[in-house]
Amino acid sequence: MQPIKGMFNELQYELVKILLLNVFLSTVILFLIADLIALIFNMPLWYVIAVAATYFIITLVSEIRRISLRHVEQTNPELREMLRTAKDNTAEDSLMAHALFYEVLDKIKRVSSGSFLDFKKLITKIATIFVLAIILVSIAFFNINITRFDNPLEKPLAFITKLVGQITGIQPDTSGVQEASEDIFGDPSMAKLADNQLVATVNPSLDTPDFNNVDPSNPSNGPLADLSGEQGSGFNTPGSTYESGLSERDQERSYNYAKQTQTS
């Protein structure tokens, strides 16, 4: 009895492995397609992962429940009706049952795991995965933006989250988060500089200075001579405005350096 039971357990294990491979490939295809859709609708990646994980679990459980020896018999005609008959009579200890068990064990040795695979579907799934992967890699590599719509699930999920929070009494922590009003800039107002009135005087001669008429030997007569603040003082005369605050010795050094740069 033990050899025939071990054979059925091993056969069940092989069927689960093949089923797991098929479900995994189908899940990968779904994941890649969902990723493309998520890129178009600007959805986060966890949507895709949630959909793929849910599909994998539900499909795997449902397919495992549908496993039967009929599939093995269909792919191996020499075992037709024999596997199910031996399965139904594993508790029998008669001569006929033992003869059936030995015959099944002898024939099952010549059955390979590859006979349970549908190679046409397998190749189709692998080719589909390859094409979808190439498309996604190209989009990422060339930085192509294929977003065309807003996330349609954002508002429904936010509403459901809020509803669940109201029912359970658990609200998200919004401390430190300030809601933005329609006017994000606040009330319009003018900056108050001071109470004193400012008086600005603009020298018309500075509107259109003629730099072609600058005399290097006498820079105080140039178009920018009036910027020093004193009439006729210029930029390079000792005691001019830009030298205010310097000692007499530093002013002399600055004046001499300015004269050297002009003559050189």
Give dist(CA 236, CA 251) in Å, integer. 10
245: left (phi over 0), alpha (psi -120 to 50) or beta: left
Per-residue pLDDT, averaged over 242-252, amounts to 65
Question: For residue 234, what pLDDT is reported?
Answer: 47
Q: How confident is the model at residue 235 (pLDDT cuts 50, 70, 90)?
A: very low
pLDDT tens-place string over residues 161-220: 777 777 887 765 555 555 555 555 555 555 555 556 656 666 555 555 555 665 555 555
Q: Name the phi and psi angles at 214, rounded to 5.
A: -75, 130
* Span between the terminal Cα atoms of the chain, in Å: 115
pLDDT tens-place string over residues 215-234: 555 555 555 555 444 444 44
The domain segmentation of the chain, as residue ranges, is: 2-141, 204-263
pLDDT tens-place string over residues 64-95: 998 887 878 887 787 877 888 888 888 787 88
All residues at 6 or more sequence positions from 8 whose CB lies less than 8 Å from its CB, including other chains: 87, 90
Q: CA–CA distance from 50 to each of 30, 41, 45, 173, 197 (Å)?
A: 11, 16, 9, 24, 67
Question: For residue 110, what pLDDT is reported?
Answer: 80
